[in-house]
Structure 1
Amino acid sequence: MIRLVTCFLFMCSYLVYSLPTLSRMKELDKEIPVGERDRIIHKMPKRWSRLIMKITGADIQIKGQELLPEGPVVFISNHEGNFDIPTLLGYVDKPFGFISKIEVKKVPIISSWMEVLNCVFMDRKDRRQAIKSIRDGVELLKEGHSILIFPEGTRTKGGPVGEFKSGSFRLAKDSQVPIVPISIQGTSDVFEKNGRLIKPAKIKVTICPPVDSHLSENVDIKDLAVQVRQIIVDHMD
């Protein structure tokens, strides 16, 4: 309970503290190269994410950073729990935005930071809006930004990796950037498996070898979803 309260209070105070930086990030010079600009913008969210995970007491091990290619990528990860995002934001050495459910857009400050991070809000219940979100994501990738997707669509809470919805793989097909699969294990042990209390846990993140954009171009997106899911499962213990 103490960790849960500490996490909550830290998040609230840090978000308020971040407002001046958020304002500066919105005004950042558009002439700065995309990669450099993204790294500047991600400094505070990265620091915030690492502090959050430190408060949880999590022991985070990450491997495969050397496999990260230059330029934009589509990160594809399984989705265990609520602490997936701060774990990946804090410890993956490549800035990225991510696909989020549209309801988060109503959350003050957090949604503003997500917009600056080039996140895409998607309403899965509205097919037309979902298609538009995919197109927006493709444009961001073509501009040089990276994007993370959880194609299961919901948290497994530590259960088996679910089926990957193929629609989101259109991002990689249409933008022709590499797919970088990520296997994440243990985040559900921090929260979801503890009666909604926060406890220390061991988290393992594995960055898998990229799937070349030319390969994804020549594979049906349903087959691509199955292949990438299998890569992620194969890199789990």
Structure 2
Amino acid sequence: MIIYKGARYAKKGAYTANRWIQSSLDIVSALESVGGRCHFYNLDVVKKLQSPSVFIGNHMSILETFILPCLIRPYQKVTFVVKESLMSYPVFGHVMRDRHPIVVGRSNPREDLKKVLREGAQRLGDGISIVVFPQTTRSVEFNPRQFNTLGIKLARRSQVPVVPIALKTDAWSMGKWVKDIGKIKPDKTTHICFGDPLQIQGSGKNTHRQVVAFIQSRLEAWRVSDMESGSA
């Protein structure tokens, strides 16, 4: 119902920033209404940003695409790098297109890189932050070898900070028929944590390692705490 409402506004050209934020908050409320728990950390990082930034996070489920707007958009204009297939989804596609994302096909990594660097620089120059999930596909398990440097390259070229995001969002599972949309698992706690902004130095390799280490450390800490609380 929440997505349908957003799509109706988007088709009319009336899906404002405030409505996007409210839709995102409604998703959080809906998850909590069925017993889900959501924990958000270090929101002051976003509040204190002095410039548009590149947010780089692991990609666990479609849930982060719905929740991040209410955490970022009140303080920063923002859009996403998304795969092309999302744009053709019934209902949800209208919402995504209205956000003017950077769309990549994922069949030609070189062309995707060129497009993200070109359009990303334009968005950042217009004061719009960008969320990048530099994995080949969504996964509950975080594999650093599948975590590319796309976001680092964009931030380096545009000379803006990188903000790491660690995401545990497996409360919304992957679907059997439609991969992006599966069952809600309210017994799994949702965690989203922002890391301190990082300035790119040199080639950006060290910054990439810092982003990876931050995500790994947070995911491991949540794995342990959720096992102890019975919500792993």
Q: TM-score, normalised by structure 1?
A: 0.75
Deviation at 1:222, TM superposition (A): 4.0
1:52-131 alignment to 2 at 5 Å?
A: 52-57=27-32, 58-68=36-46, 69-92=49-72, 93=74, 94-107=76-89, 110-126=92-108, 127-131=110-114
Asked whether the 8 Å contact 1:166–1:225 carries over to 2, the reply is yes
Higher helix residue share: 1
1:14 has 2:1 as partner: no
2:13 to 17, 23, 27: 23
- Identity of aligned pairs, percent? 22
Residue by residue over 1:174-219, the C-alpha shift from the partner in whole angstroms, topping out at 9 and shown as x without a partner, is: 111111111112x11332499942121321111111002xxx1x33
- Structure 2 residue identity aligned to 1:101: K
Query: How has the CA–CA distance of structure 1 residues 16 and 78 changed in structure 2, closer, same or farther, with 3 Å as cutoff?
Result: closer
Distance 1:67 1:203 in 2: 19
1:203 has 2:183 as partner: no
In structure 1, runs of 5+ residues without a counterpart are 1-9, 26-40
In structure 2, runs of 5+ residues without a counterpart are 222-232
Q: TM-score, normalised by structure 2?
A: 0.77
Asked whether the 8 Å contact 2:172–2:184 carries over to 1, the reply is yes
Match of 1:36 in 2: none
SS at match of 1:190: coil
Deviation at 1:51, TM superposition (A): 1.5
Query: How has the CA–CA distance of structure 1 residues 223 and 116 changed in structure 2, closer, same or farther, with 3 Å as cutoff?
Result: same
Distance 2:112 2:189 in 1: 38
Distance 2:94 2:6 in 1: 11
Distance 1:111 1:173 in 2: 30
- Structure 1 residue identity aligned to 2:17: H
Asked whether the 8 Å contact 2:54–2:132 carries over to 1, the reply is yes
Give the RMSD, CA atoms, in angstroms: 2.6
